[in-house]
Amino acid sequence: MASITKHKTGYRAQVERRGIRRSKVFPTKRQAQDWAARVEYEILNGDKIAAETTLGEVLDRYAREVSPKKRGERWETIRLAKIRRDPIARVRLRDLAPRHFADWRDRRLKEVAPASVIREMQLISSVLNLARREWGLIGENPLRDVAKPKKPPPRDRLPTEAEIEAMRFSAGEDLTKATARAFHAFLFALETAMRAGEIAGLTWDRVDLDRRVARLTHTKNGRPRDVPLSSEAIRLLQALPPDDPVFGLTPRQLDVLFRKVRDRAGVAGLTFHDSRHAAITRLSKRLDVLALARMVGHSDLRMLQVYYNESAEDLAKRLD
């Protein structure tokens, strides 16, 4: 049976049917009642719903109800829309089998790199797991039995000093121009190992120039962290014209403008994210492993191996 009770933040809807219990809090009583009614219907008619529901409809529901709560909403909704256009989206859940996903995987591998297919498979798996655990639409996740493409080796691309100088000339020195600020953000990333989204979202109220600390409240792993700032990082910040966010760029603008600077400078194969590799490699010479992991936001120390790219030649010099 469904019950609606007052909660400190709104109204709690509780549903118990056929041994299945669901509970959720909503800001209004009407929302709680609507949710409870829908959940009751889904539990009582789960087999009928699953028989007719297509994978595409489940993807749509996930994009509508779940993706907006995530920082990666834009990427997820674009990927889900892409999968929605594939023939696999028309397959009913009752018929969905590993072979369907194996065929989809092989088609995608002809279009994009293995790393992209792996990320999309992880996204679809999240959708199916939710459809199984919370929506009661399937009994098991058929994607679990499908082999993922072999992971490509980690990138080891580091910018050279010559490439940095070429991009500096390409970007220009006028920081009132967005193009110059995009390259300036790349230099800041080389000092801090901050990601492009973290830099674009940085605001002055989260920067303490005296303590030399930048506070990040929205990070990839969802946990806030404090980033220590070198003297050069401080200098880069102080050189910027007054604006808020600090660099006056959206993540999209930063990506597009950095590519423009890079291509105009004749630099091939370099991405903005390669600055993180370069920064971690440089910082490893000054910080111990635990301090470095804390600065860059890695809770798993093994992740540092993915980004640490110091050459054997440089390591040999440190032995003397």
Closest Cα to residue 269, out of 161, 122, 158, 117?
Answer: 158
| Mean pLDDT value across the chain | 85
Q: Compute the Cα dihedral for 290, 296, 300, 302 and give only its sign.
A: negative
Catalytic residues: 195, 220, 298, 307
Q: Compute the Cα dihedral for 252, 258, 261, 266 and give only its sign.
A: negative
Alpha-carbon gap, residue 166 to 256, rounded angstroms:
18
Q: What is the pLDDT of residue 19?
A: 65
Instruction: For the chain, give every domain's residue range.
Output: 2-145, 161-318
DSSP characters over 134-164: TS---SS-GGGGSPPPPPPPPP-----HHHH
CB-based burial of residue 103 (10 Å sphere; 0-12 exposed, 13-18 middle, 19+ buried)?
A: middle
Q: What is the pLDDT of residue 7?
A: 83
Q: What is the pLDDT of residue 14?
A: 85
Answer yes or no: is pLDDT of 37 > 80.
yes
Q: What is the pLDDT of residue 223?
A: 73
At 63 the three-state DSSP class reads helix
Residues facing residue 135 across a β-bridge? none
At 212 the three-state DSSP class reads coil
Cα separation values, 75 from 65, 72, 165, 201, 318, Å: 15, 6, 32, 17, 42
Q: Which CATH superfamily is domain 161-318 in?
A: Intergrase catalytic core (1.10.443.10)
Closest Cα to residue 13, out of 1, 213, 293?
Answer: 1
Q: What is the pLDDT of residue 257?
A: 96
Burial per residue of 167-206, b for 16 or more beta-carbon CB atoms within 10 angstroms, e otherwise: bbebbeeebeebbbbbbbbbbbbbbbbbbbbbbbbbeeeb
Q: What is the pLDDT of residue 313?
A: 62
Global pTM exceeds 0.85: no
Cα separation values, 92 from 89, 104, 200, Å: 8, 15, 41
Section 230-238 average pLDDT: 94
Give the tens place of pLDDT for each residue, 177-226: 999 999 999 999 999 988 898 999 999 999 999 999 999 887 666 678 88
| Residues 2-145, CATH architecture | Orthogonal Bundle (1.10)
Answer yes or no: is pLDDT of 41 > 70.
yes
